[in-house]
A and B are shown apart, each in its own frame.
Chain A
């Protein structure tokens, strides 16, 4: 067995046997499902009803709000126009009201546009204010129409609403909401890569620090080249990461099967509805679902999974060589913080670019450029792939990524070689630059 494969084997076994690996592999999917369920449960819970007072001196709007009072509504409106406004302003929060909508008396409706106040102790939510503006604005428009003796019904009928249907050039009907699904898939994989890089990069770093503080590194370096040791470590750890990913993929697959079985059982309550309705619903709903499924299958799933593995390996190799050289340079994990920041920043940047730029314009300049820059490409490109990326762009991006990796590894190996034999010093960036020339 060659020496490097010996090192890979040892690192792999050391990682996989570690209790935290086992716990993380089997517990984190559970945790993930648990958190998702918990968030889902929270979102179904009703918020407390918030009482809102209205002081409407025009008498036009109070009823518009009161008509919104329903049992489970978030806000309950009370008309307190009869009470003196100055008194209301002082006492409104003491009386457990969330806030007061104050609509003053004006001679001209036009003046109302910027005279209305909302008085409260805590600033209200944006959507609430927008809603209030909307209600008053609509009512005011209607009043204005009436004053001008316009037929509001005719106007309403004349208003038209347009829905643009999405279709592909190939002629298939496309579905709305698919972009969201695509970004969700791309985002999930991009995020996964970031997590893997940080978690496993840290593992590489910790294992380098461990060897260094153990001083075993001197024995090992007398048998192998530092470069071999570093590569063996990086590859061994990445194999542990891939194993974990495959376990998760299998668990996810099993979970999907179980979940779909449960959902199938869930459909039974429809039995009470007359068959004709069911048929109709089925045709419409089933047709839609089928189309979504077909669209999802139409996604380049193979390309996504394949490029996930490629980009994971490339990105992970690139970043973990940084992690390895940092581990070699410092004496303990606490000293590593200052060097870690510049590593984590591009990763975070990539995720932000993914979620803000790729969603708006998957093939725009920013998205394309960042899917070529090796420090961000593993994440940004993976987020772009569900939207369909020309193969040559992927090829260029992967080539740049691996090219950079070889350059960085050469550079990291130099720091590593010097760093692992340096004890007791907390290095500076300047010193690490000097090591490159040793």
Chain B
């Protein structure tokens, strides 16, 4: 998989405050790349630099093999976290204006707009002013503005905020469709469940530094603790407990199930799952046996708290 965006040791300072400290990222072409980090970590600063809203103090950005320059504006679509459109301008005029700013001709912009308005079922809004629309409706317009010049790289900052579940799903499907058509998506959000659902790569920025980067699965592997969730129906609970604690660390856990079984989380250490299973099957009926995979939220919280002293 080739790279679409390479961020190379980027530094950004505001006065004495370091917003980005030699941050490097590699975004593979065609991926959905989750850019994570607590508030104030430096995500927005980085996104602004990629959008050429501000310039880095040092370091460089390579987009599709070329050093980032003003002509690449056309190749990037940006949906900022703080949404905004001209309130008194009509939807159609506004979209045309913003599309032309991205380098589209008026005719081409109109064609694309018609396509997207139809796709999102907002044809009737062309002559409405933004101030007549609800927040969610305005968000839809903004989404169209962001994608209509068919950029290679899309940057979404909290794309689902302000949408009801139905429309959030519509937008999610559109994002997946755009990925299918070859766009790369950088996705900055605090909603970890959407990261789990959509992203194949993630990076975690904390206090101006990059902590983690990589394929989501690889990152998860890195954070796995080799512990298993076990559900077991046993007549002799005390004996079972005794057998397990002889060899493994054990704790209570909870997961959804329809049986009234004993739910345990067992740390395997260097042992293999089969060693544990052998013990379990002798003592009762195993109803559930699954590796506990760290969630993105777990990874997020764990790395941020571990590194909070940086």
Contacts and interface: CB of A to CB of B under 8 A. Distances in A.
A260 B85 CA distance: 51
B89 A214 contact: no
Given A3-B101, A6-B100, A216 B85 contact: yes
Interface in B51-87: 51-54, 70, 73, 76, 78, 80, 82-87
B14 interface: yes
Interface stretch (A131-139, A219-227, A286-294): A219-227
Contacts of B97: 6, 10
Interface residues of A, number: 23
A219 B100 contact: no
A421 B55 CA distance: 13
Contact of B53 (A214, A221, A423): A221
Contacts of B142: 219
B48 A219 contact: no
B84 A218 contact: yes
Nearest to A420: B53
Nearest to B98: A219
B51 A222 contact: yes
B102 interface: yes
Contacts of A83: none
B130 to A, nearest CB: 9
A438 interface: yes
Nearest to B87: A214
Given A6-B100, A214-B86, A214-B87, A223 B80 contact: no
Contacts of A423: 82
Given A14-B89, A223-B101, A421-B53, A214 B84 contact: yes
Contacts, number: 62
A214 B98 contact: no
Interface in A42-70: none
A94 interface: no
Contacts of A225: 70
Given A14-B89, A222-B53, A222-B73, A215 B80 contact: yes
B102 to A, nearest CB: 5
A134 to B, nearest CB: 64
B82 A215 contact: yes
A220 to B, nearest CB: 7
Contact of A421 (B48, B52, B85, B86): B48
Contact of A6 (B15, B54, B101): B101
B145 interface: yes
Contacts of B14: 438
A1 interface: yes
A168 interface: no
B86 A218 contact: no
Contact of A218 (B73, B80, B100): B80
Given A3-B101, A220-B101, 11 more contacts: A1-B100, A6-B97, A14-B89, A214-B85, A214-B87, A215-B84, A216-B84, A216-B85, A221-B51, A438-B14, A438-B15
| Closest CB pairs A-B (n = 10) | A215-B84, A214-B84, A215-B82, A216-B84, A222-B51, A223-B101, A218-B80, A222-B78, A221-B53, A223-B73
27 contacts: A1-B100, A6-B97, A6-B101, A10-B97, A14-B89, A211-B86, A214-B87, A215-B80, A215-B83, A215-B84, A217-B84, A218-B80, A218-B82, A218-B84, A219-B78, A219-B98, A219-B145, A220-B101, A222-B52, A222-B53, A222-B73, A222-B76, A222-B78, A223-B98, A421-B48, A421-B53, A423-B82
